[in-house]
Amino acid sequence: MVETGIPKLDEFLNGGIPKGKSLVYYIQPGVEGEVFGMQTVYNALKKGGNCVLVVSSTIPDILKSQFKEFGWDIQPFVSRLFCVDAYNPLIGAPSNEKYVVSNPDNIEAFNKIIIGLIKELPPSTIVFGSLSTVMDLCGEKETIEAVREWNKMAMLYDHIMVYNFTAWPYSEETLKLIKGELFNAVISIGGIAERVIFGQYFGILKSDWAKEIKKSMLFRVLRPGGIKLYIPKILVTGPFDSGKSTFVHALSTRAISVDRLGTTIAMDHGHIDYKGFSADIFGTPGQERFDPIIKLLSGESMGVFLIVDSTNRTDFIRAKQMLEITKSYGLPYVVIANKQDLPGALTPEEIRAQFNLAADVPIVPAVAKDRKGVFEAFEVLIDKITGGT
């Protein structure tokens, strides 16, 4: 298996891409999807593999420099990274690369180079920066037939074939083949749009070696950082003085609270980048007069943390009330049993009994002021949001 390095995608693919298989990133026009191929290249190199990058849309040196934008240093791996230059000959410029497609608008010239390196190199990850550009230069049918041959040869020689493909208005037959039987796996990359694209997602349309995954994952592209799964809003709620603000600040890479006389009177806001996830976190005040805020934010959130003070049983009724408000929206939630370091703190199971919660509701012990349990709780909630067990 070769891992793509893209959060959750390798998990969905049962560990990555097996040798001999082909995968296409099927990208909706207007979505920043080419980075999927770049991140796959970088991760394969980082894990000790050999990579071939087929460059047809820009000068290879420019594409190599783009890795730096994402914080990826490929310099230590240059001996294992080979570029196929299919751009400089197109503009009549000399090339410094070992592999050069002499006539990039002739599919036979591509065939000669690609099949030659498949036979010559040890098992590698071969990534096409833009299959669409090859198709535009060489023709749809000609490129489809060439891809069939490349994938067949790669299977014989244990290479992995990865293609970035932007779904411009090609023929229905071409698009159907690409989403259908041409590749072993198809990863759909699209945008959520009204007048402009305001959100991006990916999901598995097809994979013949992994279980079928219908769920799509929101993502954003960070510079530096690359592809991060994006959770637009996570709600943190709970009774007064249960430790909500402390939890938000402990979990966040940056956070702000609106306080008056030591208590939150408006909202906590934090942001977290952790293990490939990027998330915005909103904490609500605990007083009943702010319940409309909880209802408003719950309706727009993807998950909820309910913070309870493990030492204060008298607030459990209020906590149950707040939990019911969020549960009414059917959101995944995790209960945080905070202040576990204090005398008289109830255990998670004792809290479960007090709340009469089902056995499958996660209750995570925590000491938010010491950042204990906060990241474990984040992982549990993310797993529930993304459909894990």
Structure confidence at residue 353 as a pLDDT band (50, 70, 90): very high
Query: Which of 29, 38, 47 minimizes the C-alpha distance to 70?
Result: 38
- 141 and 46, same structural domain? yes
Q: Note the pLDDT of residue 196.
A: 42
Residues 100 and 149 in one domain: yes
Residue 2 CB contacts under 8 Å (≥ 6 apart), including other chains: 16, 17, 19, 40, 44, 47, 49, 125, 160
Domain contains 375? yes
Q: Tell me: the pLDDT tens digits for 144-177?
A: 999 999 999 999 999 999 999 999 999 999 999 9
**What is the domain extent for residue 370?**
230-385
**Looking at the domain assignment, is residue 4 inside a domain?**
no
Whether 97 is in a domain gets the answer yes
Cα 370 to Cα 204, 230, 247, 373, 375, distances in angstroms:
39, 26, 10, 9, 12
Q: Is the pTM of this model over 0.95?
A: no
Q: Is the pLDDT of residue 295 over 70?
A: no
Residues present in the chain in total: 389
Question: Are 97 and 17 part of one and the same domain?
Answer: yes
Specify if 348 maps to a domain.
yes
Euclidean distance between CA atoms 290 and 380, whole angstroms: 27
Q: What's the pLDDT score for residue 143?
A: 98
Percent share of the chain, pLDDT over 70: 88
Q: Extract the tokens encoding 171.
A: 């023929």
Report how far residue 4's alpha carbon sits from residue 1's, in angstroms, rounded to the nearest whole number: 10
3-state secondary structure of 209: coil
Residues forming beta bridges with residue 119, ordered by sequence position: none
Number of structural domains (the chain) is 2
Whether residue 323 contacts residue 339, with contact meaning beta carbons closer than 8 Å, is answered with no
Q: What average pLDDT does this structure show over 175-194?
A: 89
pLDDT band for 302, please (50, 70, 90 cuts).
Answer: confident
**Residue 3 forms part of a structural domain:** no
Gap between the Cα atoms of 369 and 193, Å rounded: 40
Q: How confident is the model at residue 107 (pLDDT cuts 50, 70, 90)?
A: very high
